A and B are shown apart, each in its own frame.
Chain A
Amino acid sequence: MDISTQNTEAPPPTPPRSTAVHKRTARGATRPGDRIFLGLSRGSGILLLVIMAAIAVFLTYRAALAISKDDANFLTAFEWNTNLEPPTFGIAVLAFGTVVSAIIAMALAVPVAVGIALFITHYAPRRLGGPIAYVIDLLAAVPSIVYGLWGAIVLVPHMTGLFGWLDHYFGWTGIFEWQGGAPRSMLTVGILLAIMILPIITNVSREVFRQAPQMHQEAALALGATRWEVIRMSVLPFGRSGVISASMLGLGRALGETMAVATVLSPTFDISASLLDPGGGTFAQNIASKFNEATTFGQDALIASGLVLFVITLLVNGAARMIINRRKEYSGANA
């Protein structure tokens, strides 16, 4: 993103909380205009905190309404029947599907994204690097529903060949067994999610790699290191934590993705060992596809599953931010 680029290139911005400004604040704040303005801006900050708290509180409240009537174990049941008397529903299948699709997406996207980031910063001809980075920035802005439409109509037919090949050579593992149904399975979802989060991970990683100290790289070159050795010895170690946090941001996106999964997956409410057979589901996809037929109670049950998703993404993002904050020089917030 251009914004973060400018920031990171700019000389470390002199923090406005330097003494000169703040000595003034103490006296300035006594003026009524100042007091009102401070109140307004502090109020907005507090409002944001209140919203975050409200999200947790209201989701928990409605979720508690639903879970208290749940006849099955909410965490382990393999069913989602909110219209039964008594209702039975559980998130085991959704949790499994969400984690599996996110793992596939990460396994595919992170190495490729690191490769592209290195390509842009260290390998591409100089005239190409800038425009490529720009285009990838733009691709990060493509709405997820468009990825979903493309995935369902264009990508799915193209997966048949790959699925047949995987089944033929790796079917014996059980993971890649394929019964020959439409390739609307967890693997396809994982591949589509990987394509979606690729631009995000690439953007943040590229920022970090670009800031790898030039001196280290030149020193390594001067000692006779090849380009790959320079990257392995000076660029990658410098960028490691940045790549980790970029991946976590991508992971957060993959976990919460709704529409791309809802269009591509043909969901069933069970866990199958094979990644190629249609089946499974994710939290967000289940909410989107069950919502229109749900009664008020059914909506509460979906909110309960949304609460679990919220907690998971909160943990993932919190961890990513902690890692980023340890190294303040760059920020992935705009990615």
Chain B
Amino acid sequence: MSTAPLTDKRPSTLRGASLPKWSPWAIAAGSVALAVGIGLAAALDSKVQWGLIAALLFVFGTYGIAARVEGRRQAKDRVATSLVWVCFIVAVVPLASLIWETVKRGVKAFDLYFLSHSMGVVADNEPGGGIYHALLGTLEQVGIATLISVPIGVLTAIYLVEYGRGKLARAVTFFVDVMTGVPSIVAGLFILSFWILILDMGYSGFAGALALSILMMPVVVRSTEEMLKLVPNELREASLALGVPKWRTIIKVVLPTSIGGITTGVMLAVARITGETAPVLLLVWGTNFINNNPFSGPQASLPLYIYRQYSAGTEVAYDRAWAAALALIAFVMILNLAARGIARWKAPKTGR
């Protein structure tokens, strides 16, 4: 990173006048104090408005003071710096609030009972009930989707890296890229039109899993492809030189070398589809009861459960929705952290 040479501000006789190091902090403190004063005087009740006023005062104050002392160019530099800081803080507030609120409101209804019971015969305005049926549904649907998309995704990546040349490979690469951008609801509509409306198979967890696997495949292909490209060519050549057939080289040498990265990619893809609501809403339909069989009848799923509890609109239902959101975030974050852990631990040594 380039911060080291850029922040080197040793005093030098060649430099013009410059503000002391503590000046940004002083200006920030001054503008916050002034903003609070203005806010109190004008009786603005929203703290957000106070914050905005403070940010504006800070930016203009910095420019004014720096322009007087250091000149226009330095002043512009300082304004850019403060704008970048403001951007960062503006973005951190909602994102931090998201995590904070989910945890704070989620722990209210979150306990062992919540994890081990379904919503069967629990009315919207009654406390109690839980996410067992939804957890089960999500695990089954995501499991089936993973079973479908990992072999196809990994084989496609192998084709692209080890065999792919010419038009077909280029087309596959392009459409895999485009496929990553297919909105989840469109994937759901496709399975709806094909599986439910034309083949007349009825709503089931499996239909949802089909849509999820469409969303998962391109992610698996991309990450596996990147990992296979990192495998040093010398390994392949050594194996081939010993007379090992190409397919055994791929299975015994290339895949084991990159297995850590592939696992990471798969886990990130699983984390991504676990949170998908739209296809599940269209295809799995949702139920309050436990349905162990993903192949027949409506199932529940965690994201869908959150949506249904939110739509129910009562206080206790909101509590359940937050608790389920906490469970979902925890699941996704654990998968992410584990995936990154594996990536770091098993990263192919590329001589860096």
A233 located at the interface, meaning its Cβ lies under 8 Å from any Cβ of chain B in the complex = no
Please give the residue numbers on chain B whose beta carbons come within 8 Å of chain A beta carbons, in ascending order.
1-6, 45-46, 48-49, 73-74, 76-77, 79-81, 83-88, 90-91, 94-95, 97-98, 101-102, 151-153, 155-156, 158-165, 168-169, 171-172, 174-187, 189-190, 192-194, 197-198, 214, 217-219, 221-223, 226-233, 236-237, 240, 245-248, 250, 261, 264-265, 268, 271-272, 274-278, 281-282, 303, 306-307, 310, 318, 321-322, 325, 328-329, 332-333, 336-337, 340, 343-344, 347, 350-352
Please give the residue numbers on chain A whose beta carbons come within 8 Å of chain B beta carbons, in ascending order.
1-4, 6-7, 9-11, 13-18, 20-22, 24-25, 28-29, 31, 33-34, 36-38, 40-49, 51-52, 54-55, 58-59, 61-62, 111-116, 118-119, 121-126, 129, 132, 136, 138-139, 141-150, 152-155, 158, 161-162, 165, 195, 198-199, 202, 210, 214, 217-218, 221, 226-231, 249, 252-253, 255-259, 262-263, 284, 287-288, 291, 296, 299-300, 302-303, 306, 309-310, 313-314, 316-318, 320-321, 324, 331, 333-334
User: What is the distance, in angstroms, from A38's C-beta to the closest C-beta of chain B?
Assistant: 6
| Complex Cα spacing A334 to B274, Å | 17
**Which of B152, B178, B329 sits near A318, CB closer than 8 Å?**
B178
Chain B residue nearest to A56 in the complex (CB): B190
| Complex Cα spacing A129 to B194, Å | 47
Known: A25-B163, A46-B168. A259 touches B230 (CB 8 A): no
Q: Please determine whether B250 and A37 come into contact, CB atoms closer than 8 angstroms.
A: yes
**Which of B185, B261, B282 sits near A309, CB closer than 8 Å?**
B185
Chain A residues lying within 8 Å of B101, measured Cβ to Cβ, are 150, 153-154
Q: Please determine whether B325 and A141 come into contact, CB atoms closer than 8 angstroms.
A: no
User: What is the distance, in angstroms, from B199's C-beta to the closest C-beta of chain A?
Assistant: 11
Q: Please determine whether A259 and B278 come into contact, CB atoms closer than 8 angstroms.
A: yes
| Complex Cα spacing A38 to B250, Å | 11
Q: Please determine whether B80 and A228 come into contact, CB atoms closer than 8 angstroms.
A: yes
Known: A143-B274, A144-B275, A334-B222. A41 touches B180 (CB 8 A): no
| Complex Cα spacing A117 to B295, Å | 45
Q: Please determine whether B246 and A29 come into contact, CB atoms closer than 8 angstroms.
A: yes
Q: Please determine whether A20 and B172 come into contact, CB atoms closer than 8 angstroms.
A: no
User: What is the distance, in angstroms, from A9's C-beta to the closest C-beta of chain B?
Assistant: 7
User: What is the distance, in angstroms, from B158's C-beta to the closest C-beta of chain A?
Assistant: 5
- 23 chain-A/chain-B pairs, Cβ below 8 angstroms: A2-B264, A7-B229, A33-B247, A38-B159, A45-B155, A45-B159, A48-B156, A49-B172, A52-B175, A59-B186, A112-B91, A142-B98, A145-B328, A150-B101, A195-B94, A210-B1, A218-B5, A287-B282, A288-B282, A306-B185, A306-B186, A310-B183, A313-B182
Q: Please determine whether B230 and A10 come into contact, CB atoms closer than 8 angstroms.
A: yes
Q: Please determine whether A259 and B303 come into contact, CB atoms closer than 8 angstroms.
A: yes
Chain B residues lying within 8 Å of A17, measured Cβ to Cβ, are 164-165
**Which of B5, B49, B159, B221 sits near A161, CB closer than 8 Å?**
B49
Given contacts A143-B329, A334-B265, 15 further A-B contacts (CB under 8 A): A10-B230, A10-B352, A16-B162, A29-B246, A58-B198, A115-B91, A119-B84, A132-B88, A141-B272, A142-B275, A154-B98, A161-B46, A229-B77, A230-B6, A259-B277
Chain A residue nearest to B178 in the complex (CB): A317
| Complex Cα spacing A287 to B321, Å | 22
Q: Please determine whether A31 and B245 come into contact, CB atoms closer than 8 angstroms.
A: yes
Q: Please determine whether A142 and B3 come into contact, CB atoms closer than 8 angstroms.
A: no
Chain A residue nearest to B223 in the complex (CB): A3
User: What is the distance, in angstroms, from B160's C-beta to the closest C-beta of chain A?
Assistant: 7
Chain B residue nearest to A285 in the complex (CB): B185
Q: Please determine whether A115 and B87 come into contact, CB atoms closer than 8 angstroms.
A: yes
| Complex Cα spacing A13 to B232, Å | 8
**Which of A11, A40, A54 sits near B194, CB closer than 8 Å?**
A54
Chain B residues lying within 8 Å of A36, measured Cβ to Cβ, are 247
Chain B residues lying within 8 Å of A44, measured Cβ to Cβ, are 151-153, 155-156, 159
Q: Please determine whether B332 and A142 come into contact, CB atoms closer than 8 angstroms.
A: yes
Chain A residues lying within 8 Å of B187, measured Cβ to Cβ, are 55
Q: Please determine whether A303 and B156 come into contact, CB atoms closer than 8 angstroms.
A: no
User: What is the distance, in angstroms, from A257's C-beta to the closest C-beta of chain B?
Assistant: 8
**Which of B172, B247, B307, B332 sits near A37, CB closer than 8 Å?**
B247
User: What is the distance, in angstroms, from A197's C-beta to the closest C-beta of chain B?
Assistant: 11
| Complex Cα spacing A300 to B175, Å | 26
Chain A residues lying within 8 Å of B237, measured Cβ to Cβ, are 20-21
Most buried by B among A25, A227, A288: A227
Known: A119-B84, A150-B101. A45 touches B172 (CB 8 A): yes
Q: Please determine whether A122 and B3 come into contact, CB atoms closer than 8 angstroms.
A: yes
Q: Please determine whether A123 and B332 come into contact, CB atoms closer than 8 angstroms.
A: no
Known: A3-B343, A142-B275. A41 touches B156 (CB 8 A): yes
Q: Please determine whether A333 and B177 come into contact, CB atoms closer than 8 angstroms.
A: yes
**Which of B74, B169, B336 sits near A226, CB closer than 8 Å?**
B74
| Complex Cα spacing A78 to B276, Å | 30
**Which of A13, A113, A143, A161 sits near B230, CB closer than 8 Å?**
A13
Chain B residues lying within 8 Å of A146, measured Cβ to Cβ, are 98, 102, 275, 306, 325, 328-329
**Which of B73, B264, B277 sits near A144, CB closer than 8 Å?**
B277
Known: A48-B172, A142-B329, A333-B177. A258 touches B248 (CB 8 A): no
Known: A51-B214, A150-B101. A25 touches B246 (CB 8 A): yes
| Complex Cα spacing A145 to B184, Å | 12
Known: A14-B233, A296-B197, A309-B186. A45 touches B169 (CB 8 A): yes
Q: Please determine whether A41 and B91 come into contact, CB atoms closer than 8 angstroms.
A: no
Q: Please determine whether A141 and B332 come into contact, CB atoms closer than 8 angstroms.
A: yes
Chain B residues lying within 8 Å of A118, measured Cβ to Cβ, are 84
Q: Please determine whether A58 and B152 come into contact, CB atoms closer than 8 angstroms.
A: no
Chain A residues lying within 8 Å of B161, measured Cβ to Cβ, are 16
| Complex Cα spacing A113 to B91, Å | 8
| Complex Cα spacing A2 to B228, Å | 15
Chain A residues lying within 8 Å of B350, measured Cβ to Cβ, are 6, 10-11
Chain B residues lying within 8 Å of A230, measured Cβ to Cβ, are 6
Chain B residues lying within 8 Å of A229, measured Cβ to Cβ, are 73, 77
